[in-house]
Amino acid sequence: MRYTIGVDLGGTNLRAGLVDTNGTIYYDTKVDTIVEEGPDAIFGRMVSLIKTVQRQLPADGTLAGVGIGVPGPLDPVAGFVFAMPNIQGFENTPLRAMLAEATGLDIELGNDANAAAVGEWIFGAGQGLRDLVYITVSTGIGGGVIADGHLLLGHKGSAGEVGHHIIDWHTRMSWEDTAAGPGFARRAAHAMRQTTDTALHQLTTPDLVQGHHIATAAAAGDAVAQRLMDEEGEAIGAGLVNMLHLYSPAKIVLGGGVVINNPQLVERAKVVIAERAIAVYRDVPVEVTQLGDRIGLLGAAALYDHMRQRRA
C-alpha cells in the first residue's frame, strides 16, 4: 500500500497523519503549536512530528512524500511562504526546501484552505466533479477552488483568498469582516448593549459573547438572537452568491466551526442564493463538509499527489 504523510499546521494545534490512497488515516498524532515560542520551535515540532509518523509506516508500505497545509498566502509551486497571519516569524520563508532538507522526504506545500478543497474533491463531497468551491467559516474565511479539474492557483499561487473580497463598499468591510466568527460576535455584542433583556444576557456578556451563545439563545426563542442568526446566514449567503458568479462550481462545500456547529446558517444562506443568484446557479448544491475534522490531514495528503501530478 502507498501512503502519504499529511501535516496540518494551525495556530493552536499541529497535526500529522499517515494516509493511504483510499483516504483512510492509518495513524495520526498532534501537538500544541505554541506560537509564542517562535518559528524555530514550530519548525522543529513539524520535523519531529513528520519523523514520528514516518516510523509508523507498515513494513509492506511505501511512503510517497509529505503534504503540508499551512495558513496564509504562499506559492505552492516555489514552496515559499509569504506570511502566516496567526503565526509570526515565517515571513518570506522557503519552507518546502527547509523541510525537505531536514527530513530527507519529498515535500509539497499548500494553503490550508486550498488543501482542504483538494481533500474534499478527492475524498469527500466533491468526488467526481470538475468544478468545486470549498469555503471555511471560522475565525476567518478561507477558500479553495477546483476549476476544470485543477486546483486554481493563480499569480504566485495565491488564488482563492476569498475572505478578503469587499462585500460592503460603504464600510469597506470584507466578507471575512462581516461573516467570520469575530464579526458575528461583534454584531451580537452591539445588540446586547442596545437591548439588555435578551436571553443572551443570561448566557454571557457583550465582551465574551460567541456564536454558540447566539445559537443557544436563538433555539430558546430569543428574538434578538434569532435575528442575529438570520443576519449571519445572510452574510454567508451574500459571499456564496459571489462565489457562484465568479467560479461557476457544480457544488459548494462549507467547513469551519461557524457553519458546522450551526447548520441552520446554511439554510438561510440558500435563501439568499435563491433570491440573488442568477437562475443558472440557483440549483447548485451547498453542503457541509463530509470530512469533518479529518479535512486538514486528508487535504494535505491529497494536495501532495495533486501538486506532484501538476509538476509531471
311 pLDDT higher than 90 = no
pLDDT at 310: 86
In this structure, what C-alpha cell is assigned to residue 263?
A: 447548520
Average pLDDT (199-223) is 95
pLDDT at 195: 92
> Hunting for cell 466578507 — which residue is that?
175
Beta bridge partners of 251: 132
- Tens digits of per-residue pLDDT, 34-74? 999 999 999 999 999 999 999 999 999 999 999 999 998 99
Beta bridge partners of 143: 135
Q: Are residues 144 and 187 in the same domain?
A: yes
Q: Are residues 34 and 148 in the same domain?
A: no
d(CA 309, CA 291): 23
pLDDT at 285: 98
When the pLDDT of each residue in the chain is averaged and rounded to a whole number, the result is: 95
Report how many domains make up the chain: 2
Range of the domain at 6: 2-124+293-311
Q: Are residues 281 and 298 in the same domain?
A: no
Percent of the chain with pLDDT over 70: 100
Instruction: Give me the CATH number covering residue 158.
Output: 3.30.420.40
Average pLDDT (228-240) is 97
137 pLDDT higher than 90 = yes
Pairing, β 251-255 against β 132-137: parallel
Q: Residue 118: which of 62, 84, 76, 155 has the closest Cα? A: 76
Under DSSP, is residue 134 helix (H, G, I), strand (E, B) or coil?
strand
Q: Are residues 28 and 50 in the same domain?
A: yes
Cβ distance 211 to 238 under 8 Å?
no
Which helix (H) or strand (E) segment holds residue 253: the answer is: strand 251-255
- Tens digits of per-residue pLDDT, 273-292? 999 999 999 999 999 999 99
Cβ distance 68 to 99 under 8 Å?
yes
Average pLDDT (288-308) is 95
First to last CA, the chain: 22
- Tens digits of per-residue pLDDT, 89-102? 999 999 999 999 99
The residue length of the chain stands at 312
Q: Are residues 17 and 105 in the same domain?
A: yes
d(CA 104, CA 124): 31
127 pLDDT higher than 80 = yes
Q: Are residues 181 and 301 in the same domain?
A: no
Q: Are residues 143 and 248 in the same domain?
A: yes
pLDDT at 158: 86
Under DSSP, is residue 87 helix (H, G, I), strand (E, B) or coil?
coil
